[in-house]
Structure 1
Amino acid sequence: MDNTSTKSMLQERIDRRLIFFPLPLQGHISPMLQLANIVHSKGFSITIVHLKLNPPNPANYPHFTFCLIEDGLSEIEESFNTDLISFLALLNNKYEPLKQVLLQLVADTSCDPVACLISDAIFHFTTEVCKSLQLPRIVLRTGGVCSFLAFAAFPLLLQKGYLPLQDDRMEEAVIELPPLRIKDLPVINTPYQDKLYELVQEMVQQTKASSGLIWNSFQELEEMPIAKLRQDFQIPIFAIGPFHKHNCTAPSPTEDHSPISWLDKHDPKSVIYVSFGSIATIEEAEFLEVAWGLASSKHPFLWVVRPGLIRGAEWLELLPEGFLDGLNGRGHIVKWAPQLEVLAHPSVGVFWTHNGWNSTLESICEGVPMICTPCFTDQWVNARYVSHVWKVGQHLEKDLSRENIERAVTRLMEEREGEELRERAVRYKEMANVCVRPGGSSYDTLSKLLKYLSFS
């Protein structure tokens, strides 16, 4: 391609607009906005269409345009607090409000022409909306490829009798999906199992019907799952992660960074970082066992206890009187922490995580071994891959007793097993750094994605 052609292609790219539609859950919003930052840094203009629930802060993204859908939000919020599957089903009833917003955006001649909609995979209804507007639809799946293949296998799993789950078979291997056991399948505890299967089936079918599929993952991490995906899905597939490793402008968080100051006071690889994500909840008894297990480990710990983590409690009022004082500064509990900075901090030696995909990937990218305590859906798959495929962590599978917690921390922080996990984690960290550099797998795939978006 000569210089004139290259300049022409870049100019066309600059004159195109992408519309992003994130699912209003923090683990989905963050990677969607990271992807938007990446493509914006390459010249695209960005419009974020979002619901009122968990809205992104426009002040953090002055380079984006934001457009709010307001219809039926009280019903959605009520469902979010009672049952996740009902919540997701209600979200997929936003056909007409989204269509009206997209009609206005497509017809707006004062802005760059719209190239396509980039939708969260769970918003399967966007297929019909885009079809009615003759607008290309590209899907972002915010989880890992390994868990998506398990979702895609649901019809087979039902046929073979693996689903619904049966208590007396949980330890059995799923022969068709190694290394998963039945207990690792990405289901959720809900009285509406049929709704779950329907939601998953629609997500998979409408992803297959899309114009392309983007992943926050990289070839070297999920080589076999990506190869399997390419066999089963006859659409363009772009594994361009880790998103946060790409060299593009990101917003400066405004939250408290005092956890970093606390970490600065500790020795390298000495701190346990504990965070169970933005949705998971635990019982009072589990919370207290975690607290005493961390205290008994004798290692310093930074623990994120977000308001709402403990069922029936506001925040830390369930801790015994004098608990924190008795640690003599060895424990630091916060409501929020800048996780990327925490994991990159030299004092962090282990990450105790719920294994959401973002947390799992971020830990891998920083070479930090994991203690895995998954809570629902894809987290079970991620934990199994962490412990048995990538071998960069250990699954804390038994009850969350203080004794089990103390033993797990000791193994990873003090024993040879933990050192071996850390050595493998560092190798994956190096792979993650290389893949986003010129000539790396994600760097090259991003170039293909940009070209594809330019001519959508």
Structure 2
Amino acid sequence: MAGREQHGDGVRRRRVVLFSLPFQGHLNPMLKLAALLRARGLGVTVLHTGFNAPDPARHPEVDFVPIHETLPDEATSPDSDILRKLLALNAACEAPFRAALASLLRGGGGGHRQDVACAVVDGQCYPAMGAAAQLGLDEPVPDLEPLRVRDLIRVDGCDTDELCGFVASVADGVRASVSGIVINTFEAIEASELAKIQRELSLPAFAVGPLHLLFQTPPAEQSLHEPDHGCLAWLDAHPPRSVLYVSLGSLACVDHGAFEEMAWGLAGSGVPFLWVVRPGSVSGAGDEAPPLPDGFEEEIRGRGKIVKWARQREVLAHEAICAFWTHCGWNSTLESICEGVPMLVQPCFADQMVTARYVTHEWGVGLEVGEVLERGTVAKAVTEVMAGEDGAQMRERAHRLQMQASAATSSAMDSLIRFILSL
């Protein structure tokens, strides 16, 4: 499409439309990509749901357009599992996404059809990918090492056939609808995987990450929780590489038994720790912050800090942090790699299983907490990653990856811009 957006300087810009799942771990990379595209001279429109909507005031140079979806309770309830959420969101967003995108292409909202070069759609929004293709726009075995069967994408408690159907729909949507794939990664850690994507799908794959390192001044984060502003001051009072940071991200949750084993394992390890216990992080607790076990706060007084949310990148960059207990969401994993911080891995669902296996067995920068949490095993794993010989070796490898991440250039972003302008 050949037109360009008119600006005060008389230059017309090609426009990119972005659409993400309404979860923090999906929205933040999408908004970083939006800012980078905008900084490279492209117009950017973000289509978004009303649920967990981004704050336009934090991104004044980006246009935000709601799709006006109506979501069922299972898409938004903290007690519904992730597969239920994904299926409900995809079903509910397909028609309103199509209508909003069609309106943009007709010139609704101040745009013009010829301004839009392409749409970048979240890889798990397969109906949206199909809708973009049908409207004239495009948007992600034999050899699976180092993965095992248990590392493949799964959601415990969900119907296996439904999950396989969802994954197949995503793959079919990619093959049928997209012109290229944008991935928040870098060649040094996933060169063979990127080559396999390009070979098997016959599509260009743009490894544009780590996105958050490409800014001199990073844009505002989309956060669903107010961060505790005392975290950094608390860390300042601790020696270098002495504190374990614990966070299972913005969406993952554990059952009450696992939560208690985490707590008493941390207490039994004897190490200082900063633990993010956000509302909704324990299944069945709804939107409330789960109560800590009786006697736990007395046991860890002066050694542990519990917060509802933290500014994770700032925490990971702090010299007091020694290791990161993580669910292996991709944003958390990449941020840990970029700060040279080794990981304790506790994947909860979906692609986190795959990422955890790469962290521990491909890159060698992490240690498994254990698929079944038990306080004694937890304490042993924490002690090993913080002070053991394996932990020291993982820290050295994490530092090497940090150097490679810092050396990643914007050449893939340059290639992506050229590709967009060629559409």
The 2-side partners of 1:12 and 1:447 are apart by 23
Partner of 1:264: 236
196, 201, 216: which one aligns with 1:233: 201
Whether the 8 Å contact between 2:147 and 2:354 is mirrored in structure 1 is yes
Question: Are residue 413 (structure 1) and residue 411 (structure 2) matched?
Answer: no
The 2-side partners of 1:353 and 1:316 are apart by 18
Whether the 8 Å contact between 1:80 and 1:87 is mirrored in structure 2 is no
Q: Deviations over 1:183-237 (max 9, x none)?
A: 1111112443222112111211221231110111111101221222221011111
Question: Are residue 115 (structure 1) and residue 114 (structure 2) matched?
Answer: no
Partner of 2:6: none
Partner of 2:56: 58
The 2-side partners of 1:301 and 1:287 are apart by 15
The 2-side partners of 1:453 and 1:403 are apart by 53
Q: Deviations over 1:120-144 (max 9, x none)?
A: 111111243223322x212xx5xxx
The 2-side partners of 1:98 and 1:75 are apart by 19
Whether the 8 Å contact between 1:351 and 1:363 is mirrored in structure 2 is yes
Partner of 2:218: 250
**3-state DSSP class of the match of 1:279?**
coil
Partner of 1:426: 399
The 2-side partners of 1:385 and 1:12 are apart by 48
The 2-side partners of 1:78 and 1:363 are apart by 28
Give, in angstroms, the shift of residue 379 of structure 1.
0.9
Whether the 8 Å contact between 2:241 and 2:321 is mirrored in structure 1 is yes
Partner of 1:366: 339
**3-state DSSP class of the match of 2:364?**
coil
Q: Deviations over 1:354-401 (max 9, x none)?
A: 111111111111100001111111111111111111000111225312
The 1-side partners of 2:12 and 2:337 are apart by 34
The 1-side partners of 2:265 and 2:212 are apart by 32
Partner of 2:357: 384
The code of the aligned residue for 1:320 comes to: D
The 2-side partners of 1:79 and 1:289 are apart by 25
**3-state DSSP class of the match of 2:328?**
coil
**3-state DSSP class of the match of 1:272?**
strand
Which 10-residue stretch deviates more, 282-291 or 34-43? 282-291
Whether the 8 Å contact between 1:220 and 1:431 is mirrored in structure 2 is yes
Whether the 8 Å contact between 2:47 and 2:65 is mirrored in structure 1 is yes
Distance 1:86 1:104, change over 3 A: same
The 1-side partners of 2:227 and 2:57 are apart by 13
Partner of 1:345: 318
**3-state DSSP class of the match of 2:302?**
coil
Give, in angstroms, the shift of residue 285 of structure 1.
2.1
Partner of 2:370: 397
**3-state DSSP class of the match of 2:254?**
coil
Give, in angstroms, the shift of residue 20 of structure 1.
0.6
Give, in angstroms, the shift of residue 13 of structure 1.
8.7
The 1-side partners of 2:216 and 2:36 are apart by 6
Distance 1:252 1:84, change over 3 A: closer
The 1-side partners of 2:138 and 2:318 are apart by 39
The code of the aligned residue for 1:356 comes to: G
Partner of 1:300: 272
The code of the aligned residue for 2:173 comes to: Q
Percent identity for Structure 1 against Structure 2: 40
**3-state DSSP class of the match of 2:126?**
coil
Partner of 2:191: 223
Whether the 8 Å contact between 2:182 and 2:208 is mirrored in structure 1 is yes
Distance 1:400 1:76, change over 3 A: closer
Partner of 2:248: 276
Whether the 8 Å contact between 1:37 and 1:248 is mirrored in structure 2 is no
Give, in angstroms, the shift of residue 264 of structure 1.
1.1
**3-state DSSP class of the match of 2:280?**
coil
Distance 1:324 1:191, change over 3 A: closer
Q: Following superposition of structure 1 onto structure 2, how do residues 177-196 of structure 1 map, counting pairs within 5 Å?
A: 177-196=144-163
Give, in angstroms, the shift of residue 80 of structure 1.
6.8
Whether the 8 Å contact between 1:41 and 1:249 is mirrored in structure 2 is no
Partner of 2:84: 86
Which 10-residue stretch deviates more, 278-287 or 243-252? 243-252
Q: Which runs of 5+ in 2 are unaligned?
A: 1-8
Whether the 8 Å contact between 2:124 and 2:170 is mirrored in structure 1 is yes
The 2-side partners of 1:14 and 1:346 are apart by 46
Question: Are residue 27 (structure 1) and residue 18 (structure 2) matched?
Answer: no
Partner of 2:138: 137
Q: Which runs of 5+ in 1 are unaligned?
A: 1-10, 142-152, 157-175, 437-442
Question: Under a length normalisation based on structure 1, what TM-score does the superposition of the two structures give?
Answer: 0.83
**3-state DSSP class of the match of 2:187?**
coil
**3-state DSSP class of the match of 1:220?**
helix
The 1-side partners of 2:166 and 2:33 are apart by 24
Q: Deviations over 1:268-326 (max 9, x none)?
A: 000000001122222222212211211121211000000111234432524214x3244
The 2-side partners of 1:33 and 1:326 are apart by 41
Whether the 8 Å contact between 2:78 and 2:280 is mirrored in structure 1 is no
The code of the aligned residue for 2:30 comes to: M
Partner of 1:203: 170
The code of the aligned residue for 2:403 comes to: E
Question: Under a length normalisation based on structure 2, what TM-score does the superposition of the two structures give?
Answer: 0.90
The 2-side partners of 1:188 and 1:105 are apart by 36
Give, in angstroms, the shift of residue 97 of structure 1.
1.7
The 1-side partners of 2:227 and 2:306 are apart by 15
The code of the aligned residue for 2:131 comes to: V
The 1-side partners of 2:11 and 2:347 are apart by 41
Partner of 2:3: none
The 2-side partners of 1:14 and 1:392 are apart by 46
The 1-side partners of 2:94 and 2:123 are apart by 15
Distance 1:454 1:397, change over 3 A: same
Partner of 2:102: 103
The 1-side partners of 2:419 and 2:371 are apart by 47
